[in-house]
Amino acid sequence: MTEGEITREHGATKGRYGLRLNGAEAELTYSVTTPTLIIADHTGVPEAMRGTGAGLRLVERLVADARAEGVKIVALCPFVAAQSRRHPEWDDVFQS
């Protein structure tokens, strides 16, 4: 993983985005429920990365990939849910 680059691991039932900065790594994980629906279930940002915008960057990438792939997102993760409320322009990919 290159410093500052978001990586994605996508499997049949689970997926993960990772972002490494200053030797620490933030992650956003999701579960695949159908080919067109995923559940964002966890975002973890270590203390060393707080205030860097790392969590938001991960959600932005999740949204961009969902749009590109025609996938809807259910925001089970409180952080992802809060970001979806702050960004009404993402309503097309979030499912209630």
Give this prediction's pTM: 0.94
Residue 96: the pLDDT is 76
pLDDT for residue 62: 98
Number of helical (H) and strand (E) elements in the chain, helices listed first: 2, 6
Q: Pinpoint the alpha helices (H) of 1-96.
A: 54-69, 78-86
Task: Tell me if 91 is assigned to some domain.
Answer: yes
Within a domain: 53: yes
Domain containing 69 equals: 6-95
| 1 occurs within a structural domain | no
Please provide residue 22's backbone torsions phi and psi, each rounded to the nearest 5 degrees.
50, 40
Domain harbouring 80, CATH code = 3.40.630.30
Tally of domains within the chain:
1
Residue 19's DSSP bridge partners are 6, 26
Cα-based distances in Å from 87 to 1, 81, 83, 91? 28, 10, 6, 8
* 81 assigned to some structural domain: yes
pLDDT digits 0-9 by tens, 23-82: 899 999 999 999 999 999 999 999 999 999 999 999 999 999 999 999 999 999 999 999
Which one is predicted more confidently, 19 or 23?
19
Residue 42: inside a domain, yes or no? yes
Taking the CA atoms of the chain, what radius of gyration do you get in angstroms? 13
Tell me if 74 is assigned to some domain.
yes
